[in-house]
A and B are shown apart, each in its own frame.
Chain A
């Protein structure tokens, strides 16, 4: 059983396409995160939403656009991506809302994205 789900699991898109990644958490958490995992690089934090408000945008290009309509759902809208954006995109959630450092983040299975 997984508390964080992501769809689709795999996505191939051209540079002119528009697509969206979806994340849903069933843990009653208040914070949700998008990470990018490229080969041979540490996980990169992209965006953080706490209580449905974006609290971090880690210098991510505007071709990535997050959306958090409620505390259970998080989207990442993609448009005019580049081949170097090919990566595993991971969503995570944590209790959130208070900024405490002892929270544990729980991750989804990721969306493996290939940009042609």
Chain B
């Protein structure tokens, strides 16, 4: 069965520190997609990134970067020079192959990031 593990329940950092959120996944599929979402206190899950299983290049978007390593089944997320506005719960998710006309996401339990001034 598909599974996503985010072992870090909560991380606290001081502003301007770098922080890495870990995500480890399990799947038997050769083709799959991985996602990161951010959930601020307002509740809405905000899409951050999607990565397919055939693309192992790291990606950088501003202060955000993602490290995808198939060999260790990990898709880690790093925030450089963290800011208070980065405080949120971050979810990693894995897309399952379904033949019934829709996509199913398997979510991890999330990592709460607290950035203090």
Contact = CB atoms under 8 A, between A and B. Distances in A.
Asked if A and B bind, the verdict is yes
Contacts of B4: 42
Contacts of B50: 102, 104
Contacts of B42: 109
B92 to A, nearest CB: 11
Contact of B103 (A51, A100, A106): A100
Interface string A47-66: 01011000110000000000
Contacts, number: 81
B107 interface: yes
A99 B45 contact: no
Contacts of A45: 104-105
B99 interface: yes
Contacts of A50: 100-102
A106 B104 CA distance: 13
B31 interface: yes
Contact of A56 (B95, B97, B99, B100): B100
Given A88-B43, A109-B43, A99 B103 contact: yes
A99 B98 contact: yes
Interface of A: 2, 31, 33, 40-43, 45, 48, 50-51, 55-56, 88, 90, 92, 94, 96-110, 112
Interface of B: 4, 31-33, 35, 37, 42-47, 50, 52, 91, 95-110
